[in-house]
Copies of this chain bind each other. A is one copy, B any other.
Amino acid sequence: MSESPVCRYRATVEYDGTDFLGYQIQAAGRTVQGEIEASLQKITQSFVRIDGAGRTDAGVHATGQVIAFNVAWRHSLTELHRALNATLPRDIVIRTLTTTDRDFHPRFGALSRTYRYQIINQRWPSVMQQRYAYHIERSLDVEAMNIASRYLIGSHDFASFGKPPQGENTVRRVTQAEWLVEAGNRIVFEITANAFLYRMVRNIVGTMVQVGSGQLLPDDVQQILLAKNLKLSAAPAPAHGLCLVNVTYPDST
């Protein structure tokens, strides 16, 4: 029997983060990476390591996580896609699957990441949206939150809003940061940056909610940013409101 050549694959992954300890594999506990690697092992009968674009926290969701892995697969791409979705648990689905360059790396090759943070701003929680949106009872001033958001745009030292992976600096380039009002009392924060610090979006949202409820002025966000002191940001907003929606790459990959 001839060996199939090893190819590199790139996939877009959607998951409901509720029942995961996060994206990244750990010594114990259920992780997105662990489940996908287990599916690949079941399908290919060999251990396959996957690389992911964003190491989302426990409880954080994704509609656009990007992963890559090398496997020797003798059947069609469609059959690999089908086999993966057939063996994955109900809370993970592979949305797209393609072959990719040998040197494609979803994390190191990414140009930008976009996250969405959903808030339901009404008197009582919405049963249907409670898995994916943070319920806030007091009315939020979205205009003030948008004024504050503008201070984030550009290249800044975000040390007040998150910790870097070991040894890295805390400068990040934010290209979009905006609050949108959607139907049904839903307020959504969309933020795009070249990369994010640990808990950066949740720390920003926690601070923005203080602006929206009048505990901070929009200008205070600029002062917090300039202070480069993680103690000055508000407590992080809960994980379940957050979703990694998109990762971009140079056209060539």
Which A residues are closer than 8 A to B by beta carbons? 14-16, 61, 63, 85, 90-95, 124-128, 130, 132
Give Cα A94–Cα B122 distance, bound, in whole angstroms: 13
Oligomeric state, in copies = 2
Interface centre among A14, A15, A92, A127 (most CB of B within 10 A): A127
Please measure, in the bound complex, the distance between the C-alpha atom of A224 and the C-alpha atom of B92, giving whole angstroms.
40
Q: How many whole Å from A203's CB to the nearest CB in chain B?
A: 24
A124 in complex: contacting residue of B61, B95, B127, B132, CB < 8 Å: B95
Q: Are B16 and A128 in contact (CB under 8 A)?
A: yes
- Residues B126 and A93 in contact, CB atoms below 8 Å apart: yes
Contact indicator A128/B63 (Cβ below 8 Å):
yes
- Given A90-B130, A130-B90, A124:B85 Cβ within 8 A: yes
Contact of A125 among B61, B93, B132 (CB under 8 A): B93
- 20 CB contacts below 8 A, A to B, read A14-B126, A14-B127, A14-B128, A15-B127, A16-B127, A16-B128, A61-B128, A63-B128, A85-B124, A90-B127, A90-B130, A91-B127, A92-B127, A93-B124, A93-B125, A93-B126, A93-B127, A94-B124, A95-B124, A128-B132
Residue in A92, A128, A130, A132 whose Cβ sees the most chain B Cβ within 10 Å: A128
A132 to B, closest residue via Cβ: B128
Contacts of A93 in B (CB 8 A): 124-127
Q: How far is the CB of A145 from chain B (nearest CB, A)?
A: 24
CA separation between A94 and B127, bound complex, in Å?
10
* Chain B minimum-CB-distance residue to A91: B127
Interchain CA distance A40-B116 in the complex, whole Å? 38
CB distance from A1 to the nearest CB of B (A): 31
For A92, A95, A124, the residue with the greatest tally of chain B CB atoms inside 10 Å of its CB is A124
Nearest neighbor of A125 in chain B, beta-carbon distance: B93
Residues of B within 8 A of A126 (CB): 14, 93
Tell me which residues across on chain B come within 8 A of A125, comparing CB atoms.
93
CA distance A85 to B125 in the complex (A): 9
Cα distance A143–B207 when bound, in Å? Answer: 47
Q: How far is the CA of A236 from the CA of B90 in the complex (A)?
A: 23
Question: Bound complex: CA of A32 vs CA of B132, how far in Å?
Answer: 23
A127–B130 alpha-carbon span in the complex (Å) = 15
Shortest beta-carbon contacts, A-B, top 9: A14-B127, A16-B127, A93-B127, A93-B124, A91-B127, A15-B127, A93-B125, A85-B124, A95-B124
